[in-house]
Homo-oligomer: A and B are copies of this chain.
Amino acid sequence: MSHPLFSPEVRHMLDEKNALALKAFCESLHPATVAEALEGEFTPEQIWEILSHADLRVQASIFEYLPSHLQVEMVQKARPQVAELIARMSHDDRVDLLQRLAPEVRETLLRLIDEADRRDIASLFLYAENTVGALMTTDYAWVPAHVTAAEAIDLLRAQAPDKETIYYIYVLDEPVRRPDGTPAPRRLLGVMSLRDLILAPRQQLVRELMETELVTLRYDADVEAAAELFARYDFLAMPVVDEKFGLLGIVTHDDILDVVTREATEDLQKQAGVVPIEEGYFEAAFAHVWKNRAKWLAVLFILQMFTIEAMAHFETLLEQVAFVMVFVPLCLSVGGNAGSQAATLVIRALALRQVHTRDWLRVLRREVTMAAALAGFLGLLAIARTYLATPGAILDKVPPEAFWHLVGVVTGAVMGICMTGALVGAMLPLFIKSIRMDPALMSAPLIATLSDVLGIVIFFQFVRIFFF
């Protein structure tokens, strides 16, 4: 996906100060392609010089596609230029950019931006992270209900025809004021698609054309809930409303695609016991990654220490039959593996709302049967292994009459630990969810750690049964 072919050409244009060629390069390709050709190849200063030849609107769209760390660097080099670009960036992307800047840089920038844009930015700044409000753009197309289709098209032409979001047109009520006299957002009456508007008779009223069965998002809804609605309804955009159904903004399909990709990364990292890292692999600061990994490693390490207590408890047994110790890592690993499978399946099913906490009994029934079926299978493998191929060094220590006891211990422990691991893995995420915490906290390594502690107890119970 990289464009190594463009870079030498662009470098040549830059050296020659070929303004026309640079303008053509910026304006004829898709902004994402231009951004890709520039990132990593040129310094922020050079990128400013290249961009400066293009139309401001094109500059803004290329700038939007640059990776965030580069945007921040570029802002620090040339604040006045950025202020101009910001006025032309899409409303949600520019708030994202400003949020990543140091407060003092943000302040100087905001002072260079005109009143109306500043007010719009301030209102988007209010919404909490991970809510629909923080994701939305205020850059939507709208018309009042009383105009005709032909008048509506004229209104859209006037309303800046470059809105990306022109394919759904929102129909809004008359302006309203709050009791204190300040203007409140206009109430959302309906929506129509650009297609319906174009195909409608010219004199038909918007009121008759619009769809009034609306699927809307509250500004404080979680972005994951929004992603789910997009997946279900195949919308291009969804309106965001306040308590009184006033239209605040819209969320578009491309932002949702980014959310879904980011959430998937977070879920994978949580499953591996890493506090989620938002930046790319090489972009993330070393200390930040270290902290996010060390935190969970420490928690797991401390929990895992209970295996010491557990084993110390069986110290006397251990000394008498030291030879069975060689089977401990094998038996313990079964619980961790079966447990992380069950946990991941249940956590993902919860995230996709295929399973709810009220289904716990159904999940329990299914997982008990599944765990038994898996345990039976592994039990057979364990018998085969211990019977056929116990290493000679161990066999010498096992009195011949005790050999079947050894087979019994390993098989029993493998089956018991497999069942315990799978059940802990399946039920803990449901329990965590039912106390309104994030089920993804029950990461695979955490399940493995819990199942290790239980596994040691189970293992030595079987030792006790078969040898004493």
Contacts and interface: CB of A to CB of B under 8 A. Distances in A.
B312 A326 contact: yes
A383 to B, nearest CB: 12
A157 interface: yes
B30 A344 contact: no
B448 A301 contact: no
Interface in A212-252: 213, 215, 228, 230-234, 236
A411 interface: no
Given A334-B301, A445-B340, A448-B333, A32 B232 contact: yes
Given A282-B362, A323-B315, A334 B273 contact: no
Given A261-B352, A325-B318, A330 B308 contact: yes
A203 interface: no
Interface string A292-306: 011011101110110
A165 B363 CA distance: 40
A327 interface: yes
A467 B443 CA distance: 37
Contacts of A298: 377-378, 381
Contacts of A29: 213
A353 B67 CA distance: 14
Contacts of A373: 286, 290, 294
A357 to B, nearest CB: 13
A12 interface: no
Contact of A253 (B253, B304, B329, B352): B253
Given A315-B393, A330-B307, A1 B341 contact: no
A363 B284 CA distance: 13
B271 A253 contact: no
A281 B349 contact: yes
Contacts of A361: none
Contacts of A233: 30, 32
A258 interface: yes
B374 A297 contact: yes
B254 A257 contact: no
A463 interface: no
Contact of A260 (B260, B273, B296, B301): B260
B344 A330 contact: no
A119 interface: no
A304 B305 CA distance: 22
A305 B385 contact: yes
B289 A370 contact: yes
A315 B326 contact: yes
Contacts of A328: 325, 328-329
Nearest to A229: B1
Interface stretch (A71-79, A110-118, A143-151, A262-270): A262-270
29 contacts: A1-B228, A1-B232, A1-B353, A32-B233, A194-B195, A263-B264, A265-B348, A268-B348, A269-B344, A272-B345, A273-B341, A280-B354, A282-B359, A282-B362, A289-B345, A293-B338, A297-B337, A297-B341, A298-B377, A301-B334, A301-B382, A304-B329, A311-B326, A313-B393, A318-B322, A328-B329, A333-B445, A336-B445, A337-B449
Interface of A: 1, 28-30, 32-33, 36, 65, 153, 157, 161, 164, 166-167, 194-195, 198-199, 213, 215, 228, 230-234, 236, 253-254, 256-258, 260-261, 263-265, 267-269, 271-274, 277, 280-283, 286, 289-290, 293-294, 296-298, 300-302, 304-305, 307-309, 311-313, 315, 318-319, 322-323, 325-330, 332-334, 336-338, 340-341, 343-349, 352-355, 359, 362-363, 366, 369-370, 373-374, 377-378, 381-382, 385, 390-391, 393-394, 397, 418, 444-445, 448-449, 452, 456
